[in-house]
Amino acid sequence: MSRRVVITGGASGLGLAMAETFRDAGDRVAVCDADPAAVAAVDPAIRAEVADVTDEAAMGGFLARVEADWGGAEVVISNAGIGGPAGAVEELAFDDWRRCLSVNLDGAFLTCRWAARVMKGQGAGLILLTSSVSGLFGFPWRTPYVAAKWGIVGLTKALASELGPHGVRVNAICPGAVEGPRMDRVVAMEAAAQGRSEAEVRAGFTEGVALRRFVTAGEVAAMALFLASPGAAGISGQALAVDGHTERTT
């Protein structure tokens, strides 16, 4: 049966990979994203709107339109996130800290609040949140992002307990470093913050991974598709890593 799938930050990167994977599985997919150019480029078979996840009114409008047209959703993926600043904690600006927590956590709250109401009414559903290996380890120089992604795991655990009795599953996916432009930006930012070359920083990432490579967006999307499948009906409250087995962080 075709599922109704809502994804935030779904116009590029992992969100888009997940949107295209569910589309290819025959599902109806709606995404929102803060980047109008990326939204305009999304396949018209995927419903795409501009909305910033930190903007309560904009998110309320997007979700209300989906609900009015579709009546609900089987899968809601709170995925929008930003990497935040890199640097020694004493040098970070409060505004950068707040922005990182806001996009990653306020956005998840607004998305999950809607999903919880809709799915409790349905008596079924899956909420997926994108955390990170940064939600499983304590990476240095990335304190706002790490705090936000551990927060996502906490939100996942609490919501799984709260919504489980209503038939709603809640899980977090924790991607490791994903091949693509976002990791290219993170590597460049950390190299600048630490005074090291980009090659050194990249090697540092892969040396800490048992498979000695970054994962792909397709591998993360495959996990999302599995978690939405009947075979995953018993899985809730979990933070599942797709990370090539990340063993250390520096």
Active site residues: 145
| 54 touches ligand NAD (CB under 6 A) | yes
Smaller CB distance to ligand NAD: residue 34 or 170? 34
224 binds ligand NAD, rule: CB under 6 A: no
In the block, residue with structure tokens 């993926």: 77
Contact flag: residue 9 with ligand NAD (CB under 6 A): yes
Rg (CA), the chain: 17
Which strand ranges, in their side-by-side order, compose the sheet holding 4-8?
A: 47-50, 28-33, 4-8, 75-78, 125-130, 168-175, 239-242
**Residues counted in the chain:** 250
Which CB atom, from 164 or from 181, has the smaller least distance to ligand NAD? 181
The least distance separating ligand NAD from the CB of residue 204, rounded to whole angstroms, comes to 14
Shortest distance in whole angstroms from residue 219 CB to ligand NAD: 11
Work out which of 21, 81, 153, 223 binds ligand NAD, going by CB under 6 A: 81
Count of residues near ligand NAD by CB under 6 A: 27
Structure tokens at 83: 């990497």
Which DSSP helix (H) or strand (E) runs through 225? helix 217-227
Pair of tokens at residue 164: 């489980």
Question: Is 43 one of the binding residues for ligand NAD (CB under 6 A)?
Answer: no
* 48 belongs to the binding site for ligand NAD (CB under 6 A): no
Return the structure tokens found at 37: 């150019």
> H or E stretch including 127?
strand 125-130
Contact yes or no for 148/84 (Cβ under 8 A)? yes
183 binds ligand NAD (CB under 6 A): yes
Q: Closest Cα to residue 214, out of 232, 238, 187, 193?
A: 187
Choice from 20, 33, 74, 190 touching ligand NAD (CB under 6 A): 33
Among 21, 79, 111, 238, interactor with ligand NAD by CB under 6 A? 79
Q: Which of 69, 98, 72 is nearest to 85 (CA)?
A: 98
Stretch that binds ligand NAD, among 4-12, 88-96, 159-167, 195-203 (CB under 6 A): 4-12
Binding test (CB under 6 A) with ligand NAD, winner from 177, 187, 223, 239: 177
Running DSSP on this structure, what letter comes out for residue 232? G
Provide the binding-site residues for ligand NAD, judged by CB under 6 A: 8-9, 11-15, 33-35, 38, 52-54, 79-82, 103, 107, 130, 132, 175, 177-178, 182-183
